[in-house]
């Protein structure tokens, strides 16, 4: 889609369709031209309620507030209605005067996410429609927005939404088409971006560097594993942020086999790895002055005569021994070795992203990311920018009593808890065992098992992958970059 910020009143812009958000059911606002028709159509103006008056060429969407995520959702609803028509252009006013940059970001992201489709596997594909959206500088309270800031917001939103949709495309690909080799090839393509380099390591490297937990998970797969390390290193970067992503291109559960219903959608187990790549891609396109690493453990977890087994003892990269009690707790094994590897590069901030536990979705809901770590200030900082981006997060606190549940009688640590309760936190505590003391306060664990993949539409998120954690981290990194300049 094409976008223009136009320094004109809404009425003076010539477009096929006008989009109007009705705030708090205020049908008297001057932008609402068809109060009588809307009432006849029983349109109440509730949040997310949308209607297209074809004869009048108006799209109306109800919003309950001027919060940024309301604007995102409303613009997504509007574009979905516009896509059903043959019209080519639309116009919309701004709704927040004092925060024109943020308002534009929210509107554009909503349009882009509402327009997103993944149709690779459809035998009959609909033609991709191209729209031109004009955003008037006139705001809901009749004031003029700050045009320069609005244009900066437009550029930022196009990059963040493109990065998010890049992650979605990766996650939505079927496991037969997207193996660790393909993930490594996608990572290598990022070298086309300025200041980006990529190194791919194979199973020989993993074996030589004692990454035995990672190797064990891969053992029964016909597709070899790949350790992916992408670096964005701009000049004069003063902070190094490392993202470690879980890249399970498919997870059958291994010998602790998942029930068949639970295997459906397990292509989404690569969401953490996809997010790490997307964050680095977005940061490079934004030209942020923060050094960023994306480290992904890419593999499958399959079954076979040579599969790793419950009761196996694995030796991780840092020499710690792990008792395997459930082969479906495999992501933490891959991450354990990848986190050890990541710390060799001395991060100022270390963040792992993983669809790690169904327990997290049970605990905080399927739309929310669980955030764990020891540094409360880091968690608060990320949460602030998550809220700004529209992503939902919830902190989950560690405690010493839960840590006792992953003790092993025959090894240093067990890969699952001895209790069914607190599974998201005990998984985080397992990872903590592989974080060196000097990095404890620099580390955050993001469990995106709930929001990473949807079986039903939610807000501006369509069926399938959502690109969970990409936007929140790009918003956060953007702030860090401005502080570094």
Residue 330: left if φ>0, alpha if ψ -120 to 50, beta else—which one?
Answer: alpha
- The two beta strands, 240-251 and 349-354, are parallel
Query: What is the Cα gyration radius of the chain?
Result: 24
Cα–Cα distance for residue pair 210/248, rounded to 1 Å: 20
Question: With the C-alpha atoms ordered 177, 178, 183, 186, is the resulting torsion angle positive or negative?
Answer: positive
DSSP 309: -
- In the residue annotation, 482 being an active-site residue is answered as no
Write the CB contacts of 477 (distance below 8 Å, at least 6 apart in sequence).
241, 279, 283, 288, 290, 292
DSSP 257: P
* Helix (DSSP H) and strand (DSSP E) numbers for the chain: 15, 19
Give the pair of three-digit tokens for residue 465.
Answer: 């992958």
Q: Are 272 and 352 in contact (CB under 8 A)?
A: yes
Q: Are 247 and 439 in contact (CB under 8 A)?
A: no
Helix (H) or strand (E) holding 184: helix 180-189
Q: Scan for tokens 């500088």, then name that residue.
A: 137
Helix (H) or strand (E) holding 208: helix 203-208
Half-sphere exposure of 248 (CA within 13 A, CB side): 30
Give the pair of three-digit tokens for residue 332.
Answer: 């933490």
DSSP 168: H
Cα–Cα distance for residue pair 121/174, rounded to 1 Å: 9
Which residue, 389, 319, 325, 331, is CA-closest to 359? 331
Cα–Cα distance for residue pair 180/38, rounded to 1 Å: 52
Instruction: Check 129, 258, 320, 403 and give the catalytic one.
Output: 258
Give the pair of three-digit tokens for residue 444.
Answer: 């955050």
Q: Are 318 and 431 in contact (CB under 8 A)?
A: no
Q: Scan for tokens 């949460």, then name that residue.
A: 383
Q: Are 259 and 214 in contact (CB under 8 A)?
A: no
Q: Are 396 and 307 in contact (CB under 8 A)?
A: no
C-alpha 133 chain-centroid distance: 25
Instruction: Check 226, 246, 332, 442 and give the catalytic one.
Output: 332
* Coil, helix or strand at residue 337: helix
- In the residue annotation, 219 being an active-site residue is answered as no
Phi, psi of 21 (to 5 degrees): -95, 130
Distances (CA, A) of 151 to 43, 198, 471: 33, 32, 19
Would you name the residues annotated as active-site residues?
258, 332
């Amino acid at each position: 889609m094409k976008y223009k910020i136009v320094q004109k009143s809404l009425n003076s812009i010539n477009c096929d369709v006008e989009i109007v958000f009705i705030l708090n059911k205020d049908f008297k606002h001057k932008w609402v031209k068809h109060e009588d028709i809307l009432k006849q159509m029983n349109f109440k103006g509730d949040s997310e309620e949308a209607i297209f008056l074809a004869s009048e060429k108006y799209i109306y969407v109800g919003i309950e507030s001027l919060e940024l995520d309301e604007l995102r959702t409303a613009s997504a609803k509007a574009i979905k209605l516009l896509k059903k028509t043959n019209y080519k252009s639309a116009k919309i006013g701004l709704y927040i005067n004092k925060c024109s940059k943020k308002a534009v970001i929210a509107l554009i992201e909503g349009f882009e996410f509402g327009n997103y489709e993944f149709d690779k596997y459809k035998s009959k594909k609909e033609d991709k429609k191209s729209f031109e959206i004009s955003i008037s500088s006139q705001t809901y309270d009749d004031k003029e927005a700050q045009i320069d800031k609005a244009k900066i917001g437009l550029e930022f939103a196009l990059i963040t939404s493109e990065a998010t949709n890049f992650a979605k495309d990766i996650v939505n690909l079927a496991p037969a088409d997207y193996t660790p080799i393909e993930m490594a090839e996608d990572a290598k393509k990022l070298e086309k971006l300025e200041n980006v380099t990529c190194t791919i390591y194979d199973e020989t490297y993993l074996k030589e560097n004692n990454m035995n937990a990672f190797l064990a998970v891969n053992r029964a797969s016909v597709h070899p594993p790949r350790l992916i390390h992408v670096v964005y290193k701009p000049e004069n970067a003063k902070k190094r942020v490392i993202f470690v992503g879980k890249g399970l291109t498919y997870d059958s559960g291994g010998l602790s086999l998942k029930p068949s219903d639970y295997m459906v959608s397990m292509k989404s187990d690569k969401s953490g790895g996809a997010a790490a790549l997307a964050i680095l891609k977005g940061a490079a396109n934004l030209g942020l002055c923060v050094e960023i690493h994306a480290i992904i453990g890419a593999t499958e977890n399959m079954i076979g005569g040579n599969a790793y087994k419950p009761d196996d003892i694995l030796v991780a990269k840092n020499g710690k021994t792990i008792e395997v009690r459930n082969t479906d707790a495999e992501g933490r094994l891959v991450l354990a070795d990848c986190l050890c590897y990541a710390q060799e590069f001395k991060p100022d901030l270390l963040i792992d992203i993983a669809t790690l536990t169904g327990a997290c979705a049970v605990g905080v809901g399927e739309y929310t990311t669980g955030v764990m770590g020891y540094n409360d200030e880091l968690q608060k900082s990320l949460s602030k920018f998550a809220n700004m981006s529209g992503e939902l997060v919830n902190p989950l606190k560690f405690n010493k009593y839960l840590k006792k549940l992953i003790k092993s009688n025959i090894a240093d640590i067990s890969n699952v808890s001895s209790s069914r309760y607190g599974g998201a936190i005990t998984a985080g505590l397992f990872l903590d065992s592989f974080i060196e003391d000097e990095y404890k306060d620099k580390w955050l664990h993001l469990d995106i098992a709930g929001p990473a993949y949807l079986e039903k539409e939610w807000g501006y998120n369509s069926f399938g992958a959502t690109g969970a954690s990409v936007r929140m981290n790009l918003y956060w990194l953007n702030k860090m970059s401005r502080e570094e300049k």
